[in-house]
Amino acid sequence: MSENIEFRKQVYNKGQYIKVINTSFNELGVTSVQEQIASEPTVNDFFNLYNELFFDIPEYGEYNSHEYLITKSSEYINFLGNQEETIALQNEIAQLRIELLAAQQQVIELQTTNLPT
């Protein structure tokens, strides 16, 4: 019942190996760097896809949402820093309006108290 199996091993020296064995990976579907770069989406491609998928993208969510895009983009351009400055300036404008209104009220009071009777 036992059967002898004979194994044969073929050995090549370095010079023969390079000639006999194909060491490039083009048979496995590996793409070159230039092909990889050419297949990468461009900014235009991204925005075209974004416009196509706009209503399919969830409004809110930690990832893959409009909220996520706004948060990431805001961090990148330091939008929150600008927003904080805008809020500070709006608060200063509001305070100056209060001071102006108080000054105008004082002027009116002075004008009405100094009227001849």
For 16-44, write each residue's pLDDT tens digit. Answer: 887 877 776 655 566 777 888 888 889 99
- Cα 80 to Cα 66, 85, 115: the distances in Å are 17, 9, 53
The per-residue pLDDT of the chain, averaged, comes to 86
This prediction's pTM: 0.43
Helix 79-113 crosses helix 66-76 at what angle (to 10 degrees)?
A: 80
Average pLDDT over residues 43-63: 94
Gap between the Cα atoms of 55 and 65, Å rounded: 10
Rounded to whole angstroms, how far apart are CA atoms 33 and 26?
Answer: 13
C-alpha 80/C-alpha 87 separation (Å) is 10
Neighbouring residues of 53: CB distance < 8 A, sequence distance ≥ 6 = none
